[in-house]
Chains A and B, each alone.
Chain A
């Protein structure tokens, strides 16, 4: 409701420009302060480069294709790990959400594994899978798995009891109860889980790549540190943030398209 009102207000061009300025004001301020501080000479340029140095690094990276290579590598890893995790977590989530017995069976293990951050698995992952691709995928998988699982289960549990009562009154069969009532009812929460899961996967890929990799944004960071290239490090961090936001925006958009009724 508020959303549509805001949208209507933003319709006039003047207000639209105003909103855009307001939206970009803080980042521009930060940029200005950053620029200013760098020119006062408080920091050495080899610890804190000026914005233009980061821009130069970005331009160089685009020119020689290294930027696309690193982003592409990280993105593909995330996609692979995330998709495997999403399939597993959805399947397990639906089963544990629907069946008390299954929930009881899995609950303790899930609750103990859940608080362990994926990064804490890195040493074990390296021992098990070595430093190649599988260990990175494993970490990404863990990052995406739990948010999707937990949101799927809670989405199913939180379904309004009045719809279950409706199903009783109309003697809706089990199959249709699940496919037409329970799953669509849980869908908004499941989609939230998927968004959080993808965000986590993106965090995990960087962490995994910082350990051992020859490409990817995480590699850009660790490589930038060993070459004493803070501009490259900051560029890498900004890319993590920007790509993460874009991915989340895309998922948010897709969710809105799917959950038309909310």
Chain B
């Protein structure tokens, strides 16, 4: 018997006369890792921002933990595409800024979460002293430090090089397995969606609505090179492109 972490019921979003999302209904059980994929401009970020309370839907209902979302809260972590660390604060101060002032044992929390992303030695560093991947890991640590029930990630690795991205995906997967936080990941990288998501939501564009939800076999989360992985990947690929010869580059 699993609890529902996020539930969307007939959610639509309109910017003036531009319809961005139309009639999105989706249930995300507690502890699930859900990937959302779609072409650029199809409304992925908007969908995530609505779940995070940064944007209001024009129609429908958004429930997080059974409660309608009205504004952002610390219980829902949000990782932006850019790391969004404050350049004038150290890693430690950046993470503490995200905590409730009344939280006890802040030093310990900072330490634990930096360990989780493997950056415990960088407590006193400034963001400019970190690489892009490290900064993004600090941003993830900052989001995790609040022990959010749900973590929303908007193309968090989009700006990273391919190698770093794969490392970050593994790190995120480990964190998810350890912490059992519900995660919703927006991406335009099919491999990333398949490797990380237990389910992949494929969004169509203009207006964005759910075209398909693909269940990902567990083996895809373990081996990224097997036939099972490529078959699943190809299946999603064909949602976007009709040709039979699967292209080499899976970014859409």
Contacts and interface: CB of A to CB of B under 8 A. Distances in A.
A185 to B, nearest CB: 8
A163 B88 CA distance: 12
Given A170-B98, A171-B73, A162 B80 contact: yes
A104 to B, nearest CB: 26
A170 B88 CA distance: 17
A46 interface: no
Contact of B126 (A169, A184, A260): A260
B97 A180 contact: yes
B100 interface: yes
Interface string B67-106: 0000111100010101010111100010001111100000
B88 A261 contact: yes
B38 interface: no
B43 interface: no
Contact of A184 (B54, B71, B74, B88): B88
Interface in B10-35: none
A67 B129 CA distance: 48
Contacts of A184: 86, 88-89
B245 to A, nearest CB: 41
Given A165-B54, A168-B71, A180-B89, A173 B84 contact: no
B73 A181 contact: no
A139 B91 CA distance: 45
Nearest to B78: A169
A39 interface: no
A171 B72 contact: yes
Interface string B44-55: 000000001010
A173 to B, nearest CB: 6
Contacts of B142: 170
Contact of A181 (B86, B99, B126, B127): B86
Nearest to B76: A169
A162 B84 contact: yes
Max chain B Cβ within 10 angstroms of own Cβ: one of A165, A166, A173, A180: A166
A149 to B, nearest CB: 23
A168 B54 contact: yes
Interface in B175-198: none
A245 interface: no
B128 A166 contact: no
Given A162-B80, A165-B54, A171 B74 contact: yes
A251 B90 CA distance: 25
Interface secondary structure of A, over-half rule: helix
Nearest to A166: B84
Nearest to A171: B74
Contacts of A76: none
B238 to A, nearest CB: 36
A225 interface: no
Contacts of B74: 170-171
B69 to A, nearest CB: 13
Given A170-B97, A184-B86, A184-B88, A261 B80 contact: no
Contacts of A16: none
A184 B86 CA distance: 9
B84 A163 contact: yes
Contacts of B88: 184-185, 187, 259-261
A176 interface: yes
A102 interface: no
Nearest to A184: B88
A172 B73 contact: no
Contacts of A166: 80, 84, 86
A172 B71 contact: no
A119 B197 CA distance: 69
Contacts of B71: 168
B72 A169 contact: yes
Interface in A150-168: 162-163, 165-166, 168
Interface string A247-262: 0000000000001111
B72 A168 contact: yes
Contacts of B128: 261
Nearest to B128: A261
Contact of A162 (B82, B87, B89, B93): B82
B123 to A, nearest CB: 17
13 contacts: A162-B84, A166-B84, A169-B72, A169-B78, A170-B74, A170-B98, A180-B86, A181-B86, A181-B97, A184-B86, A184-B89, A261-B126, A262-B87
Given A169-B52, A170-B99, 9 more contacts: A162-B82, A162-B84, A166-B84, A169-B78, A170-B97, A185-B88, A260-B88, A261-B88, A261-B128
Q: Which 10 A-B pairs have the closest CB atoms?
A: A261-B87, A170-B98, A184-B88, A169-B78, A169-B72, A261-B88, A168-B72, A166-B84, A171-B74, A180-B97
